[in-house]
């Protein structure tokens, strides 16, 4: 509705035309607001999900930036309350009571991921003789010559990662 038509409607008392004009303005404003809200929600979701998953991926994966995508489909933002909350889907993609820590544990316990997971960061078994546990947590400088040979024979990929 142009301003001229609105002015004519006011002068002649055409309430129907005035109502239509205001209705159009209201609809245009609602469309703009909805578009802004959708954009803000997407940005909030990206910040919440990417931030949480980046932390988890760094804790469990050997290549976190590559492997974080394995977790993305399991996480979503729930807007049911006053504050958006990060939620976890179950293995079937359905909402669940799982926490981010549960997802992390489930991923670490999944044998399909064993080749892309970090080893334990434990520093040993606590038994006599020291140096008995945590082989995956060792630094390259901590391997004896015999351990390097054994690693080369049993896991050449890991050997090449540790000793490029």
User: Domain limits of the chain?
Assistant: 3-118, 119-164
**Residue 112: which region, alpha, beta or left (left: phi > 0; alpha: psi -120 to 50)?**
alpha
Q: Which of 11-20, 65-74, 98-107, 134-143 has the lowest mean pLDDT?
A: 134-143
pTM exceeds cut of 0.85: no
DSSP 41: H
Q: How far is 135 from 83, CA to CA, in rounded Å?
A: 44
Within 73-137, where are the H helices? 100-109
Q: How far is 154 from 164, CA to CA, in rounded Å?
A: 16
Q: How far is 130 from 124, CA to CA, in rounded Å?
A: 7
Percentage of the chain lying above the pLDDT 90 cut: 55
Higher pLDDT, 140 or 85: 85
Q: Strand, coil or helix: what is 76?
A: strand
Mean pLDDT confidence for 77-95: 93
What are the tokens at 57?
Answer: 């991926």
What are the tokens at 134?
Answer: 């945590």
Q: pLDDT at residue 28 above 50?
A: yes
Confidence of residue 12 (pLDDT cuts 50, 70, 90): confident
Looking at residue 1, its pLDDT comes to 46
Looking at residue 117, its pLDDT comes to 93
Looking at residue 63, its pLDDT comes to 93
Q: Strand, coil or helix: what is 8?
A: helix
Q: How far is 25 from 6, CA to CA, in rounded Å?
A: 12
Helix H or strand E encompassing 89: none
Mean pLDDT confidence for 54-74: 94
- Helix 3-12 to helix 15-60 angle (10° resolution) is 140
Q: pLDDT at residue 133 above 60?
A: no
Q: pLDDT at residue 127 above 50?
A: no
């Amino acid at each position: 509705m142009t301003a001229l038509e609105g002015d004519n409607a006011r002068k002649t008392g055409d309430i129907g035309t005035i109502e239509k004009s205001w209705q159009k303005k209201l609809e245009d404003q609602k469309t703009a607001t909805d578009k802004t809200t959708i954009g803000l929600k997407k940005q909030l979701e990206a910040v919440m999900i990417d931030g949480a998953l980046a932390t988890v991926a760094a804790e469990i994966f050997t290549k976190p930036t590559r492997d974080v995508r394995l977790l993305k489909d399991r996480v979503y933002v729930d807007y049911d309350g006053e504050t958006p909350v990060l939620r976890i889907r179950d293995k079937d993609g359905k909402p669940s009571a799982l926490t981010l820590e549960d997802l992390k544990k489930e991923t670490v316990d999944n044998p399909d991921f064993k080749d892309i997971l970090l080893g334990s960061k434990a520093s040993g078994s606590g038994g006599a003789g020291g140096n008995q546990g945590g082989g995956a947590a060792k630094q390259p400088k901590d391997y004896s010559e015999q351990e390097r040979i054994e690693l080369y024979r049993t896991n050449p990929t890991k050997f090449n990662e540790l000793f490029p």
